[in-house]
Chains A and B, each alone.
Chain A
Amino acid sequence: MNQLQWLKYAVTHLSDGFEEMRWKKSGSMKIAWILLTLLFFSRIAQERLYGFQFRESYDKTFSVIPCIISSFVIFFAWVTANNAVSTFLDGEGSTKNIFIYSSYALVPYIAQSLINTVLSHFLIKDEYVFMQVIEITGVIWSVILIFSAVKAVHQYTFMRTIASVLLTIVAMFIMLFLLILFMALVQQLYMFISTIYTELLYRIRG
């Protein structure tokens, strides 16, 4: 099987797809990056390309930052946090494998949001329930896949997988908290230095 067929295999075999991939040492970093980029584009599509009858966005300005955060940043936080948690939960997975498997698990979610973006141009509000069904299916599918990806990549038992996923989420929050703290600190430092700089400028000139 080539890498694309492996992707299809992993997504369609909920319980043992990733297990099989692991034994065959399959999975491609290139596809993982493409999937991540697709996730990013699907976020933008949801924001900008939705049919008008469903969209509730402020059209006057558009910022790409929230889209980057809700795709790349969250994903990297997940990979890092999971890698960190796995070190003290005896996980076997490498960072690269966590990255690849997690991104493969996102396929249903990405598909769901792209399908819904297209459908939103053909359906009316009364038919929103179809879109909801697709959305819920995609999300649940992705959650199960993530679960099975964590299980396979670290060779965990069922209970340990649950613990790992929960701890990863906690770790993600801690990371984001620290990130915000760090950014606030950097900003204050920057303000401090820039104030000194302006002050110095005035002294030198004056």
Chain B
Amino acid sequence: MESYNYDKWGEAVPSQAGYIAEKAVTGDELGVGSLNTPSDIFYDSADELFYIADTGNNRIIAVDSDFSRAVKIYDNLDLKSPMGVFVSDYIYIADSENSRVLVTDKNGGIVTEITKPDSELYDSQKTFIPQKVIADKAGNIYVVLNNITSGAAVFDSDGNFTGFYGADSVKNTAGVMADYISDMLISDEKRARRSRNIPTGITNFDIDGDFIFTCTSSRTDSVKKLNPAGDNIFSGKELTIGDYTPMYDTSQNRLMSSEIVDIDIAEDGCINCLDRTAGRIFQYDEECNLLFITGGTGSQTGNFRQVSAVESANNAIYVTDSMKNNITIFRQTDFGEIVHKAVDLYNGGYYEESLEPFQEVLRRDGNYRYAYKGVASAFLREGDYSSSMKYAKLADDRSTYNKAFEGYRREFIRSNGGYIFSAIILLVSAIAFFRKYRRKK
């Protein structure tokens, strides 16, 4: 499998793999019969169990942490196409075709059943088809609904509807303005045929502490980090999630622009984004710098036909494929381990300590842009300005270069200031003398 990363010009270059596919597990290997379009996977770190939403078979399966066997099967809950599962103290199931969210305890006893809210805030003409569900520490339940663009529906721990959260908004771009003006001029029939300017709904989300990470299928702002107030923390970053330039697939005659269908926050804060079009997992650090690109489309292990969900646990990544009906397990490589160690230290502010692992990263992969940035920052912190400048140049990191250059200039003037000063005085007096001499002549 060819693994790649992006260089400072945003062009794909070969790179070391951060993860390699270890194995693909089918339902038969777990002893539960074959899976049918699994569409969600969740790791419960308290019990060390994986929960898989086996949508086509209308059940939830709990699997032990090394994927050797199924521990428990929840198939007596009258589920119909469960699309999402989330586990904390309870199990939360997005039971899509029954139009409900089910909260059960871990033995399968129903605690709460959330159905379509009877509230002024919720348009009664809209359907209630839960796709994904998460719950925060306070027990608030967030539900992603199909065809709802006003954000995730929020319910309190008793199941009462409290409102929507994290809605996308349509920005007033030139295109939207032009549509607004032409709206006043064109006929109703034309207007009806034109695509409407509505925000894209949330496709999927994950929770990490107080922050909820959402992904949408739109090209811009496809990944957002929302604080409890619903504000996007990544809004100023102009992120490009997924492949930079959409690849042209000649066999299918279409552009493969990325479409993020699932997002997962690892224990160390790394963000795994699952791209359905290319079947790839894009891993970012907590500051949204690209770390690794894993996977692809195909039929070998480690490639996918139709990815549906991603989960990470114990430095491994688990991806469900709803057409292959299996779960692929990616193990972290040595290279991946070093990168993660370096990035952890770097993002924790331990720049000097991150120097050693970053240099090791560069020894193994000279194309790895992030490492140049890390080394530049480490040297800058150590006060080795000229090395920092060299690496910042390689990383195309202008702000670090600027800081390093400032320090370099300060040191240069401090050590050579006397010479410079006397050279200037000498030059000025020489010119003055020369002029005087010429005038005399």
Q: Say whether A202 faces chain B, with CB atoms less than 8 Å apart.
A: no
Q: Say whether A24 faces chain B, with CB atoms less than 8 Å apart.
A: no
Contacts of B406 in A (CB 8 A): 124
Contacts of A56 in B (CB 8 A): 398
Contact A52 B401 (CB under 8 A): yes
Contact A124 B409 (CB under 8 A): yes
Contact A52 B393 (CB under 8 A): yes
B1-22 contact mask (Cβ, 8 Å, vs A): 1 or 0: 0000000010000000000000
Partner of B9, one of A52, A58, A122: A58
Interface size on B, residues (CB 8 A): 11
Q: Given the known A-B contacts A58-B9, A60-B9, are A122 and B401 also in contact in the complex, defined by CB atoms under 8 Å?
A: no
Sort chain A's interface into a size bin: under 10
Q: Say whether A125 faces chain B, with CB atoms less than 8 Å apart.
A: yes
Q: How far is the CA of A51 from the CA of B398 in the complex (A)?
A: 10
Q: Say whether B402 faces chain A, with CB atoms less than 8 Å apart.
A: yes
Q: How far is the CB of B38 from chain A (nearest CB, A)?
A: 43
Contact A122 B398 (CB under 8 A): no
B404-423 contact mask (Cβ, 8 Å, vs A): 1 or 0: 01100100000000000000
Q: How far is the CB of B292 from chain A (nearest CB, A)?
A: 24
Contact B402 A53 (CB under 8 A): yes
Among A51, A53, A58, A60, max chain B CB count under 10 A is at A53
Q: Which residue of B lies closest to A51 (CB)?
A: B405
- CB-contacts of B371-404 with A (<8 A): 389, 392-393, 398-399, 401-402
Q: How far is the CA of A58 from the CA of B389 in the complex (A)?
A: 18
Q: Which residue of A lies closest to B403 (CB)?
A: A124
Q: How far is the CB of A54 from chain B (nearest CB, A)?
A: 8
Contacts of B401 in A (CB 8 A): 52-53
Contacts of B402 in A (CB 8 A): 53, 124-125
Q: How far is the CA of A13 from the CA of B399 in the complex (A)?
A: 42
Interface of B is mostly: helix
Q: How far is the CB of A65 from chain B (nearest CB, A)?
A: 20
A115-134 contact mask (Cβ, 8 Å, vs B): 1 or 0: 00000001011000000000
A48-65 contact mask (Cβ, 8 Å, vs B): 1 or 0: 000111001010100000
Q: How far is the CB of B380 from chain A (nearest CB, A)?
A: 13
Contacts of B409 in A (CB 8 A): 122, 124
Q: Which residue of A lies closest to B10 (CB)?
A: A58
Contact B9 A53 (CB under 8 A): no
Q: How far is the CA of A128 from the CA of B9 in the complex (A)?
A: 25
Q: How far is the CB of B367 from chain A (nearest CB, A)?
A: 14
Contacts of B405 in A (CB 8 A): 51-53, 124
Q: Which residue of B lies closest to A61 (CB)?
A: B9
Q: How far is the CB of A58 from chain B (nearest CB, A)?
A: 6
Q: How far is the CA of A74 from the CA of B398 in the complex (A)?
A: 32
Q: How far is the CA of A156 from the CA of B398 in the complex (A)?
A: 49
Q: How far is the CB of A100 from chain B (nearest CB, A)?
A: 29
Q: How far is the CA of A60 from the CA of B409 in the complex (A)?
A: 28
- CB-contacts of A140-165 with B (<8 A): none
- CB-contacts of A50-104 with B (<8 A): 51-53, 56, 58, 60
Among A51, A52, A58, A122, max chain B CB count under 10 A is at A52
Q: How far is the CB of B370 from chain A (nearest CB, A)?
A: 19
Q: How far is the CB of A121 from chain B (nearest CB, A)?
A: 9
Contacts of B389 in A (CB 8 A): 52
Q: How far is the CA of A51 from the CA of B409 in the complex (A)?
A: 13
Contacts of B398 in A (CB 8 A): 52-53, 56, 125
Q: How far is the CB of B399 from chain A (nearest CB, A)?
A: 8
Q: How far is the CA of A56 from the CA of B401 in the complex (A)?
A: 13
Contacts of A53 in B (CB 8 A): 398, 401-402, 405
Q: How far is the CA of A58 from the CA of B169 in the complex (A)?
A: 34
Q: How far is the CA of A90 from the CA of B389 in the complex (A)?
A: 58
Q: How far is the CB of B237 from chain A (nearest CB, A)?
A: 18
Contacts of A122 in B (CB 8 A): 409
Contacts of A52 in B (CB 8 A): 389, 392-393, 398, 401, 405
Q: Which residue of A lies closest to B407 (CB)?
A: A124
Q: How far is the CA of A51 from the CA of B393 in the complex (A)?
A: 11
Contacts of A124 in B (CB 8 A): 402, 405-406, 409
Q: How far is the CA of A76 from the CA of B37 in the complex (A)?
A: 68
Q: How far is the CB of B238 from chain A (nearest CB, A)?
A: 15
- 16 examples of A-B residue contacts, CB within 8 angstroms: A51-B405, A52-B389, A52-B393, A52-B398, A52-B401, A52-B405, A53-B401, A53-B405, A58-B9, A60-B9, A122-B409, A124-B402, A124-B405, A124-B406, A124-B409, A125-B402
Chain B interfacial positions (CB closer than 8 Å to A): 9, 389, 392-393, 398-399, 401-402, 405-406, 409
